[in-house]
C-alpha cells in the first residue's frame, strides 16, 4: 500500500510456516520497493488465512495512522 505522503512502501504478507498456522508480516521497503525489512509481525499465529489477513490489515492501517502528518508519533515529528 502506498499513500501519497509516505516515502517508503509497506507491504502486508501472509505466510503459513506450519500447516494451518498463518502469520502476517508488514515489510517496509525503500522508495523503489527493494531491500525489505520487517516492520511489524504477528505475535501469535492465526488458524486461518482470513483471520491472519484481517489482523494484518488492522496492523497496516494502524501503522499508516501512526505515520500520518500531524500525528504526535509520526516519523520526523
How would you class 37 by CB atoms within 10 Å of its CB: exposed for 0-12, middle for 13-18, buried for 19 or more? exposed
- Count of domains for the chain: 1
Look up cell 515489510; give the residue. 27
Contact 45, 52 (CB under 8 A): yes
**77 located within any domain:** no
Q: What are phi and psi of 46, to 5 degrees?
A: -100, 155
**3 located within any domain:** no
Q: What is the mean pLDDT of the chain?
A: 85
What is the distance between the terminal CA atoms of the chain, rounded to a whole angstrom? Answer: 22
Domain containing 43: what range?
A: 10-67
**74 located within any domain:** no
pTM listed for this prediction: 0.76
13-22 residue pLDDT tens: 999 999 999 9
**58 located within any domain:** yes
36-75 residue pLDDT tens: 899 999 999 999 999 999 999 999 999 988 888 876 654 4
Amino acid at each position: 500500500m502506498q499513500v501519497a505522503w509516505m516515502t517508503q512502501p509497506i507491504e502486508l504478507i501472509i505466510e503459513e510456516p506450519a500447516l494451518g498456522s498463518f502469520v502476517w508480516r508488514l515489510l517496509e521497503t525503500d522508495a523503489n520497493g527493494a531491500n525489505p525489512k520487517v516492520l511489524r509481525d504477528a505475535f501469535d499465529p492465526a488458524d486461518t488465512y482470513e483471520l491472519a489477513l484481517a489482523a494484518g490489515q488492522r496492523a497496516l492501517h494502524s501503522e499508516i495512522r501512526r505515520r500520518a502528518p500531524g500525528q504526535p508519533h509520526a516519523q520526523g515529528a
